Structure 1
Amino acid sequence: MSDRVAVVGMSIRAANVRNTADFWRLISTGRSGRQEISPEDLARRGVPERRYKNPAYVPVEFPMADALACDLRAFGFTRPEAELTDPQHRVMLEACYRAVESSGCFIGSLPDRVGVFLGSRTTDYGARIEYRSAAADRDLDTAGLAIGTDPDYMSSRISYAYGLTGPSMTVLTACSSSSVAVHLACQAILAGECDAALAGGVAVNVRDAGYLFAENGIYSPRGRCEPYTAAADGTVDGNGVAVLFLRRLDAALAAGNPILGVVTGTAVNNDGRERAGFTAPGVAGQTELIEEALDVAELSASAIGLLEGHGSGTRIGDALEIEAATQAFRSSGAEAGECRLHSVKANIGNLTAAAGAAGIIGSLLALKHGEIPPNAPLVAGGTPTDLRGTPFSLADRPTPWPRSDRGRYAAVSSFGLGGTNAHVVIGDAEREVRLAERKGRSWQLLPLSADDPERLAATVDAARETVAGATADTRRDIGHTLRTGRPQLTTRATALIPVDGSAADVRWPARERFHAAPEGPPALVFMLPGDDVPAPDAARALYEAEPVFRATVDDGLAVMEEVLAPETFAAVRDAFRHGASRQDGLADTPLTTRPVLHLLATGQHAFLADLGIGPDLLVGHGVGELTAARLSGVLSSEDAARAVCRRAQTLADAHEGAEAAVRFTRQMREVRLHAPTTPTLSSATGTWLTAEEACDPGYWGAQPGEPAAPDDAVRTLAAEHPGAVCLQLGGGTSLLRAARLAGAAEDTTLAVLPEGEAAPGHSLLRTVGDLWERGIRIDWDAYAERDHARRIDTLPREFDRTPCLHPVLQDHGPGTDPAERTGKQVGR
């Protein structure tokens, strides 16, 4: 078991930030999501005039978009349940989903025991619902309201919604909540209580529209959060959510997760009474905290290139924080000015319960991009605080942070009102992580799904854009991630993309080609033809492309070599290994086409079976009945191969008539026959093959020639299984045409190798995609045995953005933007 914890996924939303890419653009350019609110806008939001005209009122905000939005279906809510649920809890459901999704995994099917450690800001959402309901004399589900709004239930809601079975707890230590959550999550992973964990926090006030400041209070009278500057005069609350997905390092490496960083040390303490008052910070406690975290990480302070400080922006708080960090760093050998000091609070405001996780995400992004962001107030022309003689420096521009043999490390401080402090040290991923193995096919199958056609169309567009600029390795990563790390939603489409070559050659699915998968998988019918000759080189293309197909064909060829005449066997073999032989028309005779069809079908079946795709029903025509007998267990693979060769000879000697039938019957008495394990339709009787018929050599011997058509059998199939998906193995579409004439829908009749089409080696991959689109279950983990790569953050799920607010608050939510209450849009 590894003694280290990796960060493999993360998500963040805040002011002007919908994802980590937005967050990096914001902090790397030193911009801010702060907004000033005009009196007209305040009035439109229902803020009382007496409030916003108060001289102490500060009309600024750090708003998070779509704070009221909720995808009811995706997160398993009824609308009444969602209306009773604090928007913070709903936002957190999506944030946890996104954090896992960014690791290339689906939160609903994680194999590990996953813990949940989350913090939240206190809000009055539940209290206002209770008050307004009582005022309107409306009934209220008080138990549902408690579950939906009390912080006690936030983490356990996440565990329940996604089936996570590790430790689950809400962490409330004010502004250090999410950093303490990270500490607890790492401890749980290292203690073996769980293999992975979600850790973070949320701070969303849907009524945020400015505040009243008090003299000598913690809030800025200017409405500006400017940590570590001469003008710093207080903090400004922001709105946002930040979550990290942590996993034991060895497990993350084995799963191919992205390793965003490694947590090398964490520490938590409390100042006790060694401070001026309960709300005052303590230098001694902060100093001891940083020293302890560095000791756990086994690092000297000189190794820390970035200190993401608490940075509240208050004069006293910033000064005491710098003093404590200076003492801790000096005691560990740090030199003057060698560590950059930064705080994302200047960019997104003080996210309180989510602030620490936001700081960690900012630091991880700095490691990823090899650049330390500038201090936002300095970019805007602010004057830095005096750091002479300290180990720290500030900058008004990005600073390069290249990799080195010594590694790169960042440290993040979080100090909660009341004295609970946390410090987290993170470092680079290891060398072997960057050399992770990729192994895959030259074509990548992309399963794309969404909750409805509109969102699937957006996903297809995003996939086209992503693939266009991707390298060969990244295309493999995209394919692997979509196959093994995404939910299988109801509206589906697939695309095949070349690993090398132009993405312009890809046929992206148009909207009219989208499929709606049924709730349960439909019945799957394998149809086995007897006389459909595949296109030239079709057999060889599959033989060269797929090892499982090739191994099955080789086994069959080894048996057929004992039965067929040498020149006939050479033609059959050459159809797979050297290209079809056309000498003297030999390849177009039953002596060769029937064995080739049989080997094609059994090879295709083996490939599909390896992915967990098997027939619920079988129907064969002519020689195809013998192939069906092989797939249903009536005949062994060796006996089926011999029987097909003998049937081919019978067809070549059709002039012998009854004598040939007597000789087949006699030959079938020499093999062991079994009852079918898969229901099989008989083309001879048009009904289901019975155990007695299957075990009777006379049944098989009575078919020296080919039936004219399997019409009766196909009609039986269409009548009894109208919703079945029919797949013709081997080659051609003759049985599919019969099925369509009997009433089967064209959309549910598929062929591996349709006649008249080129037969590329990825025909089987296209078939897998066709089946998946129609609701057939695929074992994507088995697929990955042959085709795997890294898991990456790509093509996130499209969520619905419909606002959800309790009815009693629709007209009684001063501060909430009316557009946020009623608007609807679709977005990522």
Structure 2
Amino acid sequence: MEHGLVPPSLHVVRPNDHIRFEESPFFLADRVMAWPRGEEPRRAAVSAFGMGGVNAHVIVEEPPAPVVRGVLAQDSHLLRVSAADEPTLRALAGAYAERVAGISGEELGDVAFTANAGRAGHRFRAVVRGADGREVAAGLREVATGGLPVSRRGGAAAPVAFMFTGQGSQYAGMGRGLYAAEPVFRAALDECAGLLAPYLDVPLPDLLFGGATDRLDRTRYAQVGIVSVQVALVRWLESAGVRPDAVVGHSLGELTAAWAAGVLGLEDLLRLTVVRGGLMESQPGAGAMAVVHADAGTVSSALAGFAGVEIAAFNAPRVVTVTGPAGAVERFSRESGLRCRPLVVSHAFHSAAMQGAVAPFVEAVAGTPLSPPEVAFASSVTGGWHTAESVTDPGYWGRAIREPVRFSQAVATLEEVGAGSVWEIGPHPQLTSLARASWAGAHPVWLSTLRRERTDQAEVHTALATYVNQTSGDLDWPALHQGKGRQTVTIPTYPFNRQRYWVSADPPGTTMNHTNEMRRPQRHG
């Protein structure tokens, strides 16, 4: 089939004289013959008539010719190796390394697709990431030689937690790589763009990737951009099999967390984000904020001499953010004796300057259908768990604008679910280091989805590989490749770990008695 050749019949020099081939459409192939291609695909019937009644008849047909595919460009690839035991897995990793070394682009994507979606998943697994065949092969060789640990799946997967970043994580081009390479991400972002069209004077893709990215410095645009990217990230991760069992959000991020927890629908999330950002941006007065590296008690005592300055966020045991009028915050930073770092902001968020935004936002939320959370949801206002009453109270969402963010306490509450992995959902990691400092017990695996200094696929693929390699979780591998135009190609077969069990012959002179007991030959002196 592959080479277009008809093999000769074995051990035949000339046909039997009683077979009149010339009167039939059949002929004897006594040598290798060309198999011309016709209008129909090549088909062959293969028969085996063995002595003793062993008969087999198989009809085979050549596969369809490859078609021109609209393959999405990728700058990162994931390849999973899976086997029933560790030695076999390491042997398979070595074979895969030889297969991918020196290839890249479309061919590497097809190899990864075949291995990930076309081969069964077993108990032992390892996932490697790379930009090209050389990098993937290097990771596979580490697996083959024992340089990388192998994950063993067993029992229920550990809970997954999502943390949603707030304002300040945005930058021009955030999510551009995933928008180009991941169909689910792109579809989700396009859906957000359609729902936002009545509220924005610039299309969402232009705001994120086009000529309007300079507007991301403004609160009303920044908040919409961040939330839209977070929605697309959640949709894509969930399609790949990563779904949260618990959520928490920092300030703006608590709105997206509410959507991820099933509290409100996507259209309402985006509408409320537009309202929230517009109200906060329209508040008068020049404000400032600063990060203070000290515990809350020390900061609270130091604030006594600086009127108008208040705590905006309890981010970690020794990381507090202060907020207030620009002049007052600058004086606090100079004269308090504490180590302070100014934040680049336009307003004094979570301060008295935001009071004018509270009532209008509560009114906007009051007209929105809200439901009890479907997963555990930690509150960044109270620091405890959300209840059906708190999360559906419009007044709560007004408090979230004005009151300080109790993120450190919320993380301590989140710890109660026993998460095996915590994913930071947003354009750039801001919360992971803070959450680490607030986590008292054994740490989960910390994962980020996007990072300003790294390509989108490289960052999130690293997170997915780490998730499989270091936790009991797994991915929906066929879904991860869906819509990317991949096709199955030849890859190394499963190297069965064969073991020989041979019963040695009995020693000479051994006899069996009537009880089938073996007797050794007697030695006589």
* TM-score, structure 2 as length reference: 0.70
Do residues 435 (structure 1) and 66 (structure 2) align? yes
Q: CA deviation at 1:700?
A: 0.9
User: What code does the residue aligned with 1:789 have?
Assistant: R
Aligned partner (choices 224, 227, 230) of residue 595 of structure 1: 224
Give the direction of change, closer, same or farther, for the CA distance of 1:546–1:473 in structure 2 (3 Å limit).
closer
User: What code does the residue aligned with 2:421 have?
Assistant: V
Write the distance in 1 (CA, Å) between the matches of 2:205 and 2:46: 66
Aligned partner (choices 244, 248, 258) of residue 619 of structure 1: 248
Do residues 467 (structure 1) and 100 (structure 2) align? yes
Tell me what 1:81 maps to. none
User: What code does the residue aligned with 1:493 have?
Assistant: A
Aligned partner (choices 542, 554, 559) of residue 190 of structure 2: 554
Give the direction of change, closer, same or farther, for the CA distance of 1:603–1:415 in structure 2 (3 Å limit).
closer
Percent identical: 26
Tell me what 1:458 maps to. 91
Q: Deviations over 1:630-649 (max 9, x none)?
A: 11221221221122233334
Write the distance in 2 (CA, Å) between the matches of 1:587 and 1:446: 36
Q: CA deviation at 1:326?
A: 6.9
User: What code does the residue aligned with 1:607 have?
Assistant: W
Q: CA deviation at 1:783?
A: 3.3
CA contact 2:172–2:209 (8 Å) conserved in 1: no
Do residues 494 (structure 1) and 184 (structure 2) align? no
Q: Deviations over 1:278-316 (max 9, x none)?
A: xxxxxxxxxxxxxxxxxxxxxxxxx9943444x5xxxxx
Do residues 576 (structure 1) and 208 (structure 2) align? yes
Q: How many residues align?
A: 429
Write the distance in 1 (CA, Å) between the matches of 2:9 and 2:480: 43
Write the distance in 1 (CA, Å) between the matches of 2:419 and 2:192: 33
- Which has the bigger relative contact order, CA under 8 A and spacing at least 6? 2
Give the direction of change, closer, same or farther, for the CA distance of 1:574–1:761 in structure 2 (3 Å limit).
farther
Write the distance in 2 (CA, Å) between the matches of 1:561 and 1:408: 54
3-state SS of the aligned residue for 1:449?
strand
Q: Deviations over 1:779-822 (max 9, x none)?
A: 333334313533344132343344445xxx356499xxxxxxxx
3-state SS of the aligned residue for 1:633?
coil
Write the distance in 1 (CA, Å) between the matches of 2:251 and 2:208: 22
CA contact 1:560–1:641 (8 Å) conserved in 2: yes
Q: CA deviation at 1:460?
A: 3.2
Write the distance in 2 (CA, Å) between the matches of 1:497 and 1:729: 22
List runs of 5+ in structure 1 lacking aligned partners. Answer: 1-258, 262-302, 312-317, 341-392, 394-398, 815-828
User: What code does the residue aligned with 2:162 have?
Assistant: F
Aligned partner (choices 259, 266, 272) of residue 643 of structure 1: 272
Do residues 327 (structure 1) and 19 (structure 2) align? yes
User: What code does the residue aligned with 1:327 have?
Assistant: I
Give the direction of change, closer, same or farther, for the CA distance of 1:800–1:685 in structure 2 (3 Å limit).
farther
Write the distance in 2 (CA, Å) between the matches of 1:726 and 1:326: 78
Tell me what 1:445 maps to. 78
Q: Deviations over 1:416-465 (max 9, x none)?
A: 445x47574756526xx123565543234322223455544433332232
Tell me what 1:684 maps to. 381
Write the distance in 2 (CA, Å) between the matches of 1:640 and 1:791: 40
Give the direction of change, closer, same or farther, for the CA distance of 1:561–1:307 in structure 2 (3 Å limit).
closer
3-state SS of the aligned residue for 2:38?
coil
3-state SS of the aligned residue for 1:797?
coil
Q: CA deviation at 1:598?
A: 0.7
3-state SS of the aligned residue for 2:400?
coil
User: What code does the residue aligned with 1:656 have?
Assistant: A
User: What code does the residue aligned with 2:62 have?
Assistant: A
3-state SS of the aligned residue for 2:431?
helix
CA contact 1:480–1:790 (8 Å) conserved in 2: yes
Q: Deviations over 1:606-632 (max 9, x none)?
A: 122333432111111111110011112
Greater mean deviation of Cα atoms: 697-706 or 788-797: 788-797
Q: CA deviation at 1:592?
A: 3.0
Tell me what 1:628 maps to. 257
List runs of 5+ in structure 2 lacking aligned partners. Answer: 284-348, 509-525
Write the distance in 2 (CA, Å) between the matches of 1:723 and 1:803: 44
Q: CA deviation at 1:474?
A: 4.0
Tell me what 2:397 maps to. 700
Q: CA deviation at 1:753?
A: 1.0
Do residues 730 (structure 1) and 426 (structure 2) align? yes
Write the distance in 2 (CA, Å) between the matches of 1:474 and 1:591: 44
Tell me what 1:759 maps to. 455
Tell me what 1:306 maps to. 7
Aligned partner (choices 174, 196, 214) of residue 538 of structure 1: 174
CA contact 1:537–1:580 (8 Å) conserved in 2: no
Give the direction of change, closer, same or farther, for the CA distance of 1:663–1:516 in structure 2 (3 Å limit).
same
CA contact 2:72–2:180 (8 Å) conserved in 1: no
User: What code does the residue aligned with 1:631 have?
Assistant: A
CA contact 1:459–1:798 (8 Å) conserved in 2: yes
CA contact 1:439–1:786 (8 Å) conserved in 2: no
Do residues 790 (structure 1) and 487 (structure 2) align? yes
- Map residues 242-281 of structure 1 onto 2, 5 A cutoff: none
Q: CA deviation at 1:701?
A: 0.9
CA contact 2:373–2:388 (8 Å) conserved in 1: yes
